[in-house]
């Protein structure tokens, strides 16, 4: 049987998992504590045993969402390298995959929430800014040799913006948008 500490950690982790999906699905303002706790299989009253405030939860959930997405992208890069695909092409293809159109809940927290970040409490905004910088660093590491490091910002902005706009268009138009941006980025930076 798990110790009380590890049980509390597991519960905390479960709340974070639910909240990380919820913020990407409904935005920061669309996250209700009672709903998150219910989805996690807990009562609303237990929330403050895990978090000092709603903002503390949102900050941690933002960090969790970013780490989860980053881990998926790093794994895709690793798999692509074993198949002889360049890390940059793998990153672009994974980030701008057609499946991302309907999967905001499990996708990049930056693309899901970028426009909301400036209106958040400093604690939440700082966590989100760290995710933006983490994404730029992932792109920088994936860029082929010979590209200027500052190009990572351009590529990261293009990836986020392309995904946001494709989600706005949806369906065939959204998929065509993603395909065009994938091809353009790989042609421009992937050599």
| pLDDT classification of 61: cutoffs 50, 70, 90 | very high
Give the pLDDT band (50/70/90) at residue 8.
confident
- Chain centroid to Cα 103, Å, comes to 11
Per-residue H/E/C for the chain: CCCHHHHHHHHHHHHHHHHHHHHHHHCCCCCCHHHHHHHCCCCHHHHHHCCCCHHHHHHHHHHHHHHHHHHHHHHHHHHHHHCCCCHHHHHHHHHCCHHHHCCHHHCCHHHHHHHHHHHCCHHHHHHHHHHHHHHHHHHHHHCCCCCCCCHHHHHHHHHHHHHHHHHHHCHHHHHHHHHHHHHHHHHHHCC
Band (21; pLDDT cuts 50, 70, 90): very high
pLDDT at res. 53: 93
What is the structure's pLDDT at 3?
A: 53
User: pTM for the full model?
Assistant: 0.89
Q: What is the pLDDT of residue 23?
A: 95
**pLDDT value at 88 more than 70:** yes
Written as six digits, the tokens of 2 are: 């798990």
Residue 5: pLDDT band (50, 70, 90) is low
Tens-place pLDDT, residues 114-133: 999 999 999 999 999 999 99
What percent of the chain is modeled with pLDDT above 90?
71
Is it the case that residue 108 has pLDDT exceeding 70? yes
Residue 69 has pLDDT above 60, yes or no: yes
pLDDT tens string 123-169: 999 999 999 999 999 999 999 998 898 999 999 999 999 999 999 99
Q: In the prediction, which pLDDT does 1 show?
A: 53
């Amino acid at each position: 049987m798990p110790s009380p500490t590890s049980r509390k950690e597991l519960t905390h982790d479960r709340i974070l998992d639910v909240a990380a999906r919820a913020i990407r699905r409904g935005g920061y303002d669309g996250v209700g504590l009672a709903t998150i706790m219910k989805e996690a299989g807990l009562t609303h009253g237990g929330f403050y045993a895990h978090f000092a405030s709603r903002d503390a939860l949102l900050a941690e959930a933002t960090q969790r969402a970013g780490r989860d997405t980053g881990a998926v992208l790093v794994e895709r890069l690793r798999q692509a390298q074993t198949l002889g695909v360049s890390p940059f092409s793998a990153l672009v293809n994974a980030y701008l995959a057609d499946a991302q159109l309907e999967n905001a809940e499990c996708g990049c927290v930056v693309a899901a929430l970028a426009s909301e970040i400036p209106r958040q409490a400093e604690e939440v905004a700082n966590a989100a800014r760290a995710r933006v910088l983490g994404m730029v660093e992932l792109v920088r590491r994936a860029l082929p040799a010979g590209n200027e490091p500052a190009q990572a910002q351009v590529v990261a902005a293009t990836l986020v913006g392309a995904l946001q706009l494709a989600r706005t268009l949806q369906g065939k138009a959204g998929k065509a948008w993603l395909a065009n941006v994938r091809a353009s980025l790989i042609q421009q930076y992937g050599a």
